[in-house]
Amino acid sequence: MVVVTGQNKVSGNPDDAMSSSDAEDDFQEPATPTATQAGQALPLLPQQFPEVVPLNVGGMYFTTRLSTLRRYEDTMLAAMFSGRHYIPTDAEGRYFIDRDGTYFGDILNFLRSGDLPPRERVRSVYKEAQYYSIGPLLDNLEDIQPLKGEKVRQAFLGLMPYYKDHLERIIEIAKLRAMQRKARFAKLKVCVFKEEMPITPYECPHFNSLRFERSESETKLFEHHCEVDVSFGPWEAVADVYDLLHCIVTDLSDQGITVDHQCIGVCDKHLINHYYCKRPIYEFKITWW
């Protein structure tokens, strides 16, 4: 907590006492933060900033105009340099922001002239824009790749029941098996199926829908659980099984998980008459080191 020094006690000599006008002049500039005597702290006055602001962001140095930092009033930077908050300085007098400065230059370039970062830095700059609450930059980044494509992908994954839970289950099972066997890798079976129930020769999709009219008794005849570790599906969208597999592998890789997969057959569980499940079964190999 930063506090400022309280007023000095008035000495016994009347000539040594400050006039009220002198005291007002002394408090035109921001007070230097120092330790204070208990009960004698004064309210912290607004901090004044120069027109050209030197910055130290996590050890990286930048220089910009104060108006640039205040370009959008609803951002964290505008609030920090509004004068309402105390910003510490380093030994060289630069205003210090305790944040990785790797992508701060991209933030400044947008505030200066609306420039957007190259594609390979979009995701990282987006995270920084979230931290600094720069809404206009967030909106612009969401409309370009790869974030625009990610929005479409997430819309698809929103159709998938328990998708994130299943990812965590894959990781937990693979970790447990590797630890039990003291092995570099672990294998598990994953079922990925699009249709809720298998299609018999007498059924056809209606209006590109994956849902079929069956009686309740017929539906129960087709209900079963494939003998796998994790099962994804069903869903109703144009995206197919290979699209979902790509999402699974991508999201596991983003968590640092090395995964290989291959189709090892189909579920051969008998359902009714001469109909079998036929859902594809994939073997996932998780390598830990």
User: What sign results for the dihedral spanned by CA atoms 213, 215, 218, 222?
Assistant: positive
Task: State the Cα–Cα distance between residues 118 and 256, nearest whole angstrom.
Answer: 24
- Ranking 79-83, 183-187, 264-268 by mean pLDDT, the lowest is 264-268
For the chain, give the mean pLDDT: 81
SS3 content of the chain, % helix, strand, coil (to 5): 35, 20, 45
- Give the DSSP H or E segment for 261: strand 258-266
Q: Which residue has the tokens 């080191």?
A: 289
Q: How many residues does the chain have?
A: 289
Domains contained in the chain, CATH given: 52-144 (3.30.710.10), 159-198+224-287 (no CATH)
**Once rounded to an integer, what is the mean pLDDT over residues 31-51?**
58
CA separation for the pair 275, 154 (Å, rounded): 34
3-state secondary structure of 270: strand
At 85-126, the pLDDT tens digits run 899 999 999 999 999 999 999 999 999 999 999 999 999 999
42-77 confidence digits (pLDDT tens): 445 578 999 999 999 999 999 999 999 999 999 999
Helix (H, G, I), strand (E, B) or coil at 231: strand
pTM (two decimals): 0.65
